[in-house]
Chains A and B, each alone.
Chain A
Amino acid sequence: MVYKVKLDVFEGPFDLLVYLIENAEMSIYDIQISEITKQYMDYIEDMQKRDIVLAGEFMILAATLIEIKSKMLLPRNRPEDLEGEIEDPRSELVEKLIEYKQYKNIAEYLKMQEEINSRIYVKPKEDLSVYTREPDEFINLDLIQFIKAFDIFLRRRKRIEEVKNNYTRIKRQEMSMETKIEQLKRFLTGRRRIKFRDLLVGVKSEYNVILTFVSLLELIRLKSVRVEQKTNFGEISIIVNDDIDTQQVEGA
Chain B
Amino acid sequence: MISKKTIKSAFESMMFVWGEPLDVKVAADVFNIDWKEAYDYFKELQEEYESEGRGIRIREIDKSFQFCTYIENDEYIQRLCTPVKEKRLTQSALEVLAIIAYKQPVTKGEIESIRGIKCDRVIEGLLKKNLIEEVGRGTGIGRPILYGTTKLFLEKFGFRDIKELPDIEDITNIVEEAEETDTEQISLEI
Q: Do A and B come from the same complex?
A: yes
A contact residues vs B (CB 8 Å cutoff): 11-14, 55, 57, 61, 96, 99-100, 102-114, 116-126, 128, 131
The 0/1 profile, CB within 8 Å of A marked 1, for residues 161-190 of chain B is 000001010011011001000000000000
Contact B118 A57 (CB under 8 A): yes
**Are A107 and B69 neighbours in the complex by a CB distance under 8 Å?**
no
Asked if A107 and B85 make an inter-chain contact with CB atoms under 8 angstroms apart, the answer reads no
Contact flag A100-B115 (CB < 8 Å), given A121-B77, A125-B19: yes
* B23 → chain A closest CB, angstroms: 13
The size of the chain B interface, using a CB distance under 8 A, is 42
Check A103–B102 contact: CB distance below 8 A: yes
Asked if A121 and B69 sit within 8 Å, CB to CB, the answer is yes
A109–B85 contact, CB under 8 A?
Answer: no
Contact A119 B157 (CB under 8 A): no
Contact in complex: A112, B116 (CB < 8 Å): no
Residues of A within 8 A of B159 (CB): 113
Q: What residues of chain A lie closer than 8 Å to B114, measured between beta carbons?
A: 96, 99-100, 103
Please determine whether B68 and A107 come into contact, CB atoms closer than 8 angstroms: no
A120 touches B175 (CB 8 A): no
B88 at the interface (CB under 8 A from A): yes
B19 and A122 form a contact (CB under 8 A): yes
Which residues of the partner chain B approach A128 to less than 8 Å between Cβ atoms?
17
Q: Which of A55, A112, A119 contacts B74 (CB 8 A)?
A: A119
Are the C-beta atoms of A11 and B91 separated by less than 8 Å? yes
Flag whether B135 is at the interface (Cβ < 8 A).
no
Can you name 6 A-B pairs with beta carbons within 8 Å? A96-B114, A99-B114, A106-B101, A106-B102, A120-B59, A122-B68
Whether the pair A114, B178 counts as a contact (CB closer than 8 A) is: no
**In the complex, which of the residues B116, B118, B171 has the most CB atoms of chain A within 10 Å of its own CB atom?**
B116
How many angstroms between the C-alpha atoms of A108 and B69 in the bound complex? 25
A61 touches B116 (CB 8 A): yes
Which residues of B lie under 8 Å from residue A125 when comparing CB positions? Answer: 18-20
B95 close to A13 (CB less than 8 A): no
Contact in complex: B168, A117 (CB < 8 Å): no
Q: Mark B45-79, 1 if CB is under 8 A from A, else 0.
A: 00000000000000100000011110100100100
Q: Least Cβ distance of A168 to chain B in Å?
A: 51
Q: Which residues of B contact A126 (CB under 8 A)?
A: 17, 19
A-B pairs with the 4 shortest C-beta distances? A12-B117, A106-B98, A107-B94, A119-B74
Confirm or deny: B28 has a beta carbon within 8 angstroms of a beta carbon on chain A. Answer: no
Tell me if B19 and A102 are in contact (CB < 8 A).
Answer: no
Q: Which of A12, A108, A119 contacts B115 (CB 8 A)?
A: A12
Q: Which A residues are CB-close (under 8 A) to B20?
A: 122, 124-125
Residues of the A chain whose Cβ atoms lie less than 8 Å from the Cβ of B94: 107-108, 110-111, 114
Write out the residue numbers on chain A whose beta carbons fall within 8 Å of the beta carbon of B102. 103, 106
Do residues A11 and B95 form an inter-chain contact, with CB atoms below 8 A? yes
Q: B5: which A residues are within 8 A, CB to CB?
A: none
Give min CB distance, B130 to chain A, whole Å: 14
Residue ID in chain A nearest B69 by CB atoms: A121
A140 to B59, CA, bound (A): 40
Contacts of B33 in A (CB 8 A): none
Provided the pairs A119-B74, A122-B19 are in contact, do residues A55 and B117 lie with their beta carbons within 8 angstroms?
yes
Q: Is B140 an interface residue (CB 8 A)?
A: no
